[in-house]
Every structure is written in structure tokens, then in C-alpha cells.
Amino acid sequence: MSPAPAPAATIVIFGGSGDLARRKLVPALFELHRQGLLAPETAIVGFARSVGSDEEWRDELAAALDEHGRGGEDAEEARRSFASRLHAVRGDLRSDASYAEMKRRLEGIEAARGLPGNRLYYLAIPPSGIGDAARRLGAAGLVHPVEGDGPFSRLVVEKPFGHDLASAHALNEAVHASFRERQVFRIDHYLGKETTQNILVFRLGNGIFEPLWNRRYVDHVQITVAETIGVEGRGKFFEEAGIFRDVVQNHLLQLLCLVAMEPPVAFEANVVRDEKVKVLRSVRPPSREEVLRDTVRGQYAAGAISGRAVAGYRDEPDVAAASTRETYAAWKLQIENWRWAGVPFYLRAGKRLPKRVTEIAITFKTPPIALFRHAGCAVGEPNVLVLRIQPDEGIALRIGAKRPGPTMRVETVKMDFRYVEQFGEATPDAYERLLLDALNGDGTLFARRDEVEAAWELVEGVLDVWAESPPVDLPNYEAGTWGPEAATELLARDGRRWRRP
């Protein structure tokens, strides 16, 4: 799991002038360059209809680094050497002639830089174009079919990977017409976050926690992805997707797998992903009655975030005036295996909530004896272990301690670890790790085909019931609050409540 310098390769970014390339991909590649993790020969090629000459694209990306790069003392010198890696190919995703031109340019760049023909294609394009782009790459002779002693060809695909189970399956088939499964890297940036990777290290690298990580000691688990922002100009996309497809199907289920999976026998791609798939297969498919009982949909109305008035979802651009699309979702899951039987997992995701936070909260069972009650002392809150993924990365443990004084009084205190305080530096961007792993052919932090389809199978069971029973009370929570009242009642029925980050 330690980073290794990447082999020399040509990195082709489809959508090279797009928002993702400017905000994330190029700044991440620049950091890898600055750290010496890219081979000197490696080239970066932007492919898009809007790119111009090599120099014009370099100027465009220089502006992107000004806005989104980290800077630093050595940034200017590193940027000059980084610019020499950048090349542009103007073309249309749906034009065979453009792929032929790409092939000609890549071969020329590789010959000039002494590259061996290794290629990493990054599809930073709308989901509707992924299958067609993969097919055209194969038809144009731009894909080496197998990996061995010869050069490699790999494909990186952004989420969402499909809109439902049928479309995910069809997309997998389209991609596999040109690329084998081991050549495909389905990216979810959450898995590249340092704090997400630390879940396994924390669990398996500390002997005091792994023995407690089961139904005997854990009361329940909450996983939260909360955002203060609204749809941010993505109204058209959100009207089609909703938060259940956009966040629950990938981010939340990925975090669920990392928390609930069995310890892998090795940190190898297929071994780790095998255990994640087992978790998804162990989730009990809910019946129609269970979906209606154990899920909650919400949509934000006008309200205030940090004292600033914000519009309701139905007033956002490109959103229908009577939209029933959900911007909040909560889901109670049961994992039916030996480790977790009887332990509920509560998942929630929402937009326009009071705080931006992604965290996993593991609540332990209370002691089974009445010792403190007999002493006339009430025991405080149960022990809670919180793994903070963002933005305040760290780990906190809430425990009971005796308050100083002549009487027996138990008070809840918190032990808190923060990454920035301990390590004194900002954590690397997720895309840095994921791009490096893709170049090195390490698929551990990427989703495999069966994992994607298993997640869609679960999610589709909920979406089908929701489609049959559209909500009638939307919007049902005010922007700046923690979601609809029904979400509070979901836990209250079990004698529990949501943690307030």
C-alpha cells in the first residue's frame, strides 16, 4: 500500500478542458510530478473539442493551477518542467477520424519522448459517452488487449457508473468489448482519501479495537455524508439522479463495506474487493414494507446556511416546479452475517444541511451491570468511536470518566486525534493516490464490476419501491436543518438518535 513511482506512460485525459480536469486531475498530476512520482518520459495529453495548440492548453492549465494548485516555494520551477509534459489533441468523442488523429499524435509524442507505449485513458466525460469512447478506442487500435511483457492500456472511469442495474450491466459490457476487467479502474474519490484508507489501518493495526468490531460489542453504526451546498448548477443532473443514486449507491456503500468487511488475508486488489462484495451480498434485500418503513426521503425548502438565505430545491435552475426528487435520504440496513447480525447500520446523506461532514460513528453497547446506579450515579452516554473522513480529518473516542470531587459522578469526555495536528501537513488529495495506483496497475481502491452491480442491485430494490410510492410531503425540511422529521423518527423507533457532528 506504500506509493511507488509510476512507470513511464502516456496519460490521455478525455475532456481535457473540462471542470474535473482543471480542478482535480491536472493539479493532482502536478503534485505527482513535483514529488518525483512520474517517470521523466511521461506525457499528459488533453483530448477535447475545445482544446487548441499545445501552448494554448498549457496556458489554460497554468491558470487552473493558479486557482486550484497548492503552490509552495518550488511551485514555479516545477510548473515549468511540468508544462513540457503537456500536449493537446483536438477531437470529437464521436468521430472515428478524431481517434485516428489521436493515434497518430500519440505515436509521435511517444517516439519523441522515448515512451514504451503504456497508456492510461481517463474518461472525464459525461456518463453517456463512456461506452462509446471505450468502443472507439478499441476499434482505432489504441488498446493493447493483454498485459504481460508488452505495453499496457488502462481505462479510468468516473462515477456514476450507470443509472440503474441494467444500465450498469450494459456499460460494463460495452467497456469489456475493448478492455478486460483488470484494465478497468472505476474511480470513487472517497476511496482515495487518507482518512478512508485509515479505516482498515485503524481496525486491523490496533489490537484493542478489532476484537470489539462485532455484534457482541457494537450497538449500531451511523454513516453520514452531509453537505451545506445545494445542487450548485447541476439541477438537470440531479433531477435525473437524486441523492440516492449520486451519493448512497457509491460513497455510502463504499464506506459501509470498509467498516463491515472481514479482514483480508492480504492488501491485494482482488482479495480486498472480494471482502467488500461479500458485505454487499450479506445485506438483507428489503421487502416493499421494509423499504417504506426503513427509508426516508427528503427535499430541502428555502432556509439559511451560516446566516445566509438560500433558495429551496424547487427554485434551483433546471429543477421542475413540482419536483419530487430527493435531496436527502436515510436508510436502515441489516447485514446478515456472523459478525454483524442484529446490528443496524444507519446511512444518511443530504444537501443543504447545517454542516459539511463525512463521518462514521460506531456506538458501543453500554455495560451490562448496575454498579454505578447502585452508587447513586447515572452512567453517561455510551462509548462512541467517530472516524471523521472530512473536513476535520481525524478520530475521536467518547468515554466516561469520574469527575473530580468527593462524590461519584461520571462525565463524558472525548479523546481526539486530528491529522493536521499530528502530522503537521495537509493530507494529499484523493486523486493523487488514485492516479498513481492506476498507473501502477493497483486496483485495490477501485470498484470491480461485481461490486458495482451488487451495489446497484441493492439500491434498485429501494428505488423501485420509491417509484411506486411517490412522496406527497415534499419539500419536508428547511435548508440549514438536519433533515426531515421522519429521519429522526427512524432512529427514535429503535430508542436511538442521530449523532450531531
The tens-digit pLDDT sequence of the chain (501 residues) is 446 789 999 999 999 988 899 999 999 999 999 999 999 999 999 999 888 888 998 998 988 888 887 766 677 888 889 999 999 999 999 999 999 999 999 999 999 999 999 999 999 998 889 999 999 999 999 998 776 678 999 999 988 888 999 999 999 999 999 999 999 999 988 888 878 888 888 888 888 899 999 999 999 999 999 999 999 888 998 999 999 999 999 899 999 999 999 999 988 889 999 999 999 999 999 999 999 999 999 999 999 999 999 999 999 999 999 999 999 999 999 999 999 999 999 999 999 999 999 999 999 998 776 666 665 566 667 889 999 998 888 899 987 777 777 766 676 778 888 877 777 666 678 899 999 999 999 999 999 999 999 999 999 999 999 999 999 999 999 999 999 999 999 999 999 999 998
| Structural element, H or E, at residue 228 | none
Distance CA 16, CA 25 (A): 9
User: What is the structure's pLDDT at 417?
Assistant: 85
User: What is the structure's pLDDT at 414?
Assistant: 80
Distance CA 267, CA 265 (A): 7
Q: What is this structure's pTM?
A: 0.92
Kindly state the DSSP code that residue 23 receives in the 8-state scheme. I
Of the residues 33, 163, 220, 251, only one is catalytic, namely 251
Distance CA 469, CA 125 (A): 33
> Where are the CATH 3.30.360.10 domain residues in the chain?
192-492
User: What is the structure's pLDDT at 205?
Assistant: 87
Catalytic residue flag (residue 144): no
Please give the CATH superfamily to which domain 192-492 belongs. Dihydrodipicolinate Reductase; domain 2 (3.30.360.10)
Give the CB-side neighbour count of residue 34, counting CA atoms within 13 A: 21
> Where are the CATH 3.40.50.720 domain residues in the chain?
10-187
Please give the CATH superfamily to which domain 10-187 belongs. NAD(P)-binding Rossmann-like Domain (3.40.50.720)
User: What is the structure's pLDDT at 1?
Assistant: 44
Q: What are the CA-CA distances from residue 259 to residues 169, 200, 472 (Å)? A: 26, 8, 35
The total number of residues shown for the chain amounts to 501
Q: What are the CA-CA distances from residue 331 to residues 253, 293, 295, 297, 325 (Å)? A: 11, 9, 4, 9, 16
